[in-house]
Amino acid sequence: MEDKNIYAVIELGGKQYLVKQGDKITAEKIATKVGETLKVNEVLLVHDGKETRIGQPYLEKVSVDLVLDSVGRGEKIRVAKFKAKSRYRKVLGHRQSESYLTVKAINL
């Protein structure tokens, strides 16, 4: 079923993503090797072009196949602490590890 109207809402790393086949998503770091396929069974909603099915909380017999393209680090954010009138200033940086995934298929 390679229809452009098929989409799903999946749960990955505690966050929800709306995905279609061929989409590229950025998620929190996943402990998988680059190039391997990851099967996600936590599908919350699926629309097949005609009807929409909603899980309570997940749909049975529905999965989404993802391919891990690469692993990297996100943009650096600055965390600043400051206390007035006491000469206290501290600036820290943080870069979150991320996984870059491609949606291979939505299995209904």
Domain of 48 in residue numbering reads as 7-107
Cβ neighbours for 31, distance < 8 A, ≥ 6 positions apart: none
Whether pTM > 0.85 for this model: the answer is no
DSSP secondary-structure letter at 60?
Answer: T
In-domain check, residue 31: yes
Are 69 and 30 spatial neighbours (Cβ–Cβ below 8 Å)? no
Determine the pLDDT at residue 5. Answer: 87
Which structure tokens are listed for 96? 């979150």
Determine the pLDDT at residue 3. Answer: 59
In-domain check, residue 1: no
Taking 70 as the pLDDT cut, the residues of the chain under it are 1-4
In-domain check, residue 20: yes
- 26-51 pLDDT per residue, tens: 999 999 999 999 999 999 999 998 99
| Count of domains observed in the chain | 1
Q: In what order do the strands lie in the sheet with 24-28?
A: 24-28, 97-107, 63-73, 37-40
